[in-house]
């Protein structure tokens, strides 16, 4: 039996090495899940799940070439581009999400980087959504120092900016911005005092080592992201990553469990890809330490499980919506 698994505490470390992370991934499944769940219980109510709803506030025609993304102008997905939404549409969507039980509203824009005048419009949206009593999150691409400070002053709670994969695999997926560009934006967001939401995507043809290295990048940041979305690639017709080999679902659960162990106080978010997961697989992900989801019938441009289905799943599992980012 693994040593000390009954007494493990949620210790935050920033010096993870590849061999020890690979050893976590290689543990017998039962030991790994038990260890992750034990750590989870030190920081969190194990039956409480934070739920956020997403809205695409500016859709498509993006100048980046991210291989997974239907919104890239470089690809040929069947998607109608849309300009930045009017404030009233955003408020209406936020009210609907709140009525359905979401505690955080996340607004995503298909930009490489916003212009300063875009930031002013987004700040208005943040202020109006906050006035409803919801937490706010935005994901807008790369930011300058001035822009992060403006968003902070406007009251933004979270900024989502993903590393997506390991530094080694990155150039297979995106060529129009660098890994370092992403790390620089994350540092600016952190320095401005905004909570960080940062994770990645699996199922893009990456190796076991790439998945381990992504988690090492996240855990070895100076401060752990408060929210860590783990997305399963949603394969979209017309994108270069359409047709990628599916990841073994049990490897996905292992990814969640290792994330929980390495990022013991972060919200690990079971993110894109839930429509292709059984309820039982999602239940295993929660057991492995996932404790937040995206909720509502749509992610940004693709489908998410129907809210009624998620409500029924919560009932069947005896879990409930609640909580914020940090334990």
Task: Map residues 14-53 to x or -, x wherever contact with ligand DTB holds by CB under 6 A.
Answer: ----------------------------------------
**Residue 62 bears catalytic tag:** yes
CB nearer to ligand SF4: pick between 282 and 304: 304
The CA radius of gyration of the chain, in Å to the nearest whole number, is 19
Q: Residues near 80 by Cβ (< 8 Å), separated by ≥ 6? A: 59, 60
Binding-site partner at residue 161 among ligand DTB, ligand SAM, ligand SF4, none, CB < 5 to 8 Å by type: ligand SAM
Single out the residue of 93, 234, 247, 285 in contact with ligand DTB (rule: CB under 6 A): 234
With 0-12 / 13-18 / 19 or more C-beta atoms within 10 angstroms meaning exposed / middle / buried, residue 193 is: exposed
Say whether 106 is catalytic.
yes
Q: Which helix (H) or strand (E) holds 56?
A: strand 48-58
Dihedral through CA 172, CA 178, CA 180, CA 182, nearest 10?
A: -90
Residue of 106, 188, 198, 260 marked catalytic: 106
As measured in angstroms, the least distance from the Cβ of 7 to ligand DTB is 33
Cα 187-192-193 angle, rounded to 5 deg: 100
DSSP secondary structure code for residue 317 in this structure? H
Nearer to ligand SAM, 111 or 179 (CB): 111
Report residue 247: phi and psi, to 5°.
-80, 140
Asked if 137 is an active-site residue, the reply is: yes
Task: Write down the residue that tokens 């994108």 correspond to.
Answer: 239
Q: Which residues of the chain form contacts with ligand SF4 (CB under 6 A)?
A: 62, 64, 66, 69, 71-72, 110, 112, 141
- The catalytic site residues sit at 62, 66, 69, 106, 137, 197, 269
Q: Which residues of the chain form contacts with ligand DTB (CB under 6 A)?
A: 54, 70, 106, 108, 139, 160, 162, 199, 229, 231, 234, 271-272, 299-302
């Amino acid at each position: 039996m693994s040593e000390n698994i009954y007494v493990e505490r949620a210790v935050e470390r920033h010096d993870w090495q590849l061999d020890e992370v690979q050893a976590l991934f290689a543990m017998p499944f039962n030991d790994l899940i038990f260890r992750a769940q034990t750590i989870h219980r030190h920081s969190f109510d194990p039956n409480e799940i934070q739920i956020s709803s997403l809205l695409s506030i500016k859709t498509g025609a993006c100048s980046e070439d991210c291989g997974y993304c239907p919104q890239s102008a470089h690809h040929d997905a069947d998607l109608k581009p849309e300009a930045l939404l009017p404030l009233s549409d955003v408020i209406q969507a936020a009210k609907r999400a709140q009525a359905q039980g979401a505690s955080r509203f996340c607004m995503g824009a298909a930009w490489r980087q916003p212009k300063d005048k875009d930031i002013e419009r987004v700040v208005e949206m943040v202020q109006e959504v906050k006035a409803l009593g919801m937490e706010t999150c935005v994901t807008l691409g790369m930011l300058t120092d001035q822009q992060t400070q403006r968003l902070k002053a406007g009251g933004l709670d979270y900024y989502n900016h993903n590393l997506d994969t390991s530094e080694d695999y990155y150039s297979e997926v995106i060529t129009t911005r660098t890994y370092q560009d992403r790390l620089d934006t994350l540092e600016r967001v952190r320095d401005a005092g905004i909570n960080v939401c940062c994770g990645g995507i699996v199922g893009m043809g990456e190796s076991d080592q790439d998945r381990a290295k992504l988690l090492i990048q996240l855990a070895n940041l100076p401060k752990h992201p408060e929210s860590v979305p783990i997305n399963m690639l949603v394969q979209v017709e017309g994108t270069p990553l359409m047709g990628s080999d599916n990841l073994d679902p049990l490897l996905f659960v292992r990814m969640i469990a290792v994330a929980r162990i390495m990022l013991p106080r972060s919200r690990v978010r079971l993110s894109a890809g839930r429509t292709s997961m059984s309820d039982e697989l999602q239940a295993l992900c929660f057991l492995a330490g996932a404790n937040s989801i995206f909720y509502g019938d749509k992610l940004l441009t693709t489908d998410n499980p129907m809210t009624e289905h998620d409500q029924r799943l919560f009932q069947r599992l005896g879990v409930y919506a609640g909580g914020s980012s940090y334990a």
